Structure 1
């Protein structure tokens, strides 16, 4: 059995304590992280991802000089978990934006029930396709590197053990939710415009020819238009979405435009 020198034991304890404090924030964030925190990924894999991010982030984070007592430790745990969940939820809102885009587009083009529930979340197949494609694009663009940078920069905004102000955190969260819904509606705008034109044309035709069953004639047209818009607009939708995601990761405190 190898005995460690007595002078190394305090340093080892401080290093493990510092590793634990970083792991608290990282694990909470990874549980909500896009691509790496999906419910389809096993828990052990997500735990391994959290450990890997912890090993990457820990050397770049300033360590605590003294171990806190029991009350301070409980406060530290709650603070770090809260910050990690807030950061992870801010990134998860971009995935929800894609799902909302697919839901709006599917409802507008009468494709909400096509293929049934194809994902774990109850979203239309169009939303599932956009979400899967968006996560794939994000990973190909180096999402793991961006997340590591995001975590390191988060300690500049929220130092270890410093609880964010409730008013500032709530205001920031409302801004991110508003950004998410605004982005979702902007991405689904072509489908909404196509649905508006379709319904206006259908109303004019029905007014001119009341005997014609215009719904049966127009249903194939709106279905084809929805699928064509999805085929032609998906690259642009994913490009705008990925740019917004990367811009947020680089500057999470920037107010939405």
Structure 2
């Protein structure tokens, strides 16, 4: 048998504890990360992705020495999982922004009932299409590389073992949610404007010709206008959305 020196065993044990600490934050973030944290992806695949990110991120960090004591480990596990979930939630809100924008656009153009249950989550077809297109675009633009860089830089903002304070976390969360809804409404603005013009025109026609069934005349028009805006405006919508997503990767806490 080959005798392993005790110094090597101690070094290997310390390295495993550091990898475990990094895995806590990485796995929590990967569970909510766009494209990698979707419900359609099996849990085993997510676990493999988290392990791969851990192998990439851990060598780039200068982690402090970890003492495997009960209290310190409980604090470390709780703080790292909370940090990963907070950052992952900030990223997940961008996917929710696309779904909300699609719901607003579908409601404005009377297309909310077309293929409403086609997705895993009950969203209109517009929201499902925008979400799938946004995730595909994020994957093409290298979200896995940005996510690895984001995880490495997150240890500069929140060193290992840092406990997030409730007032700071709640204020940051409210800011992210408000920005998500603002982004969703901004992405759906062309559909809202088209719906406003349509309803104003329909009201004028109804006042001019009360005998005409304007709803039967206007329904195909607003359907065509909604589909045309979806066809023509999706590239611009996804461009604005991807810029906002990658801006969050560079500045997650919103510092001017």
2:42 aligned partner: 42
Question: For the residues of structure 1 that align with 2:88 and 2:182, how far apart are their CA atoms?
Answer: 19
Separation in structure 1 between the aligned mates of residue 95 and residue 217 of structure 2, nearest angstrom? 36
Give the alignment of 1:221-232 within 5 angstroms. Answer: 221-232=221-232
The structure-2 alpha-carbon separation of the partners of 1:4 and 1:189, relative to structure 1 and needing over 3 Å to count, comes to: same
SS at 2:93 equivalent: helix
Is residue 23–residue 51 contact of structure 1 (8 Å, CA) maintained in 2? yes
Structure 1 residue 56 corresponds to structure 2 residue 61: no
Gaps of 5+ in 1: none
- Asked whether the 8 Å contact 1:116–1:124 carries over to 2, the reply is yes
The separation in 2 between residues aligned to 1:8 and 1:220, in whole angstroms, is 74
Question: What is the SS of the residue equivalent to 2:6?
Answer: coil
**Quick one: distance in 2 between partners of 1:186 and 1:96?**
14
- Are residues 1:251 and 2:246 paired? no
Q: 1:191-225: CA deviations, max 9, x gaps?
A: 00000000011011111111111000000000000
Q: CA offset at residue 3 of structure 1?
A: 3.4
Aligned to 2:110: 110
Query: Cα deviations across residues 114-171 of structure 1 (Å, max 9, x unaligned)?
Result: 1231110110010000000000000100000000011011101111111012111111
User: How far does residue 2 in structure 1 lie from its aligned partner after superposition?
Assistant: 4.0
**Aligned-partner Cα distance in 2 for 1:129–1:7:** 56
Is 1:145 aligned with 2:142? no
Distance 1:3 1:171 in 2: 55
Report the secondary structure of 1:131's partner residue: helix
Please give the TM-score of this superposition, normalised by the length of structure 1: 0.97
Q: CA RMSD in A?
A: 1.1
Aligned length: 256
Q: 1:180 to 1:255 in 2, by over 3 A?
A: farther
- Verify the 8 A CA contact 1:175 1:255 in the aligned structure 2: no
Do the aligned residues in 2 keep the contact of 1:98 with 1:184 (CA within 8 Å)? Answer: yes
In 1, Cα distance between equivalents of 2:6 and 2:75: 30
Q: Is the 8 A contact 2:17 2:66 kept in 1?
A: no
Deviation string for 1:70-98 (max 9, x for gaps)?
01111110111000000100000000000
Q: Cα distance, 1:227 vs. partner?
A: 0.1
Residue of structure 2 in register with 1:188 after alignment: 188
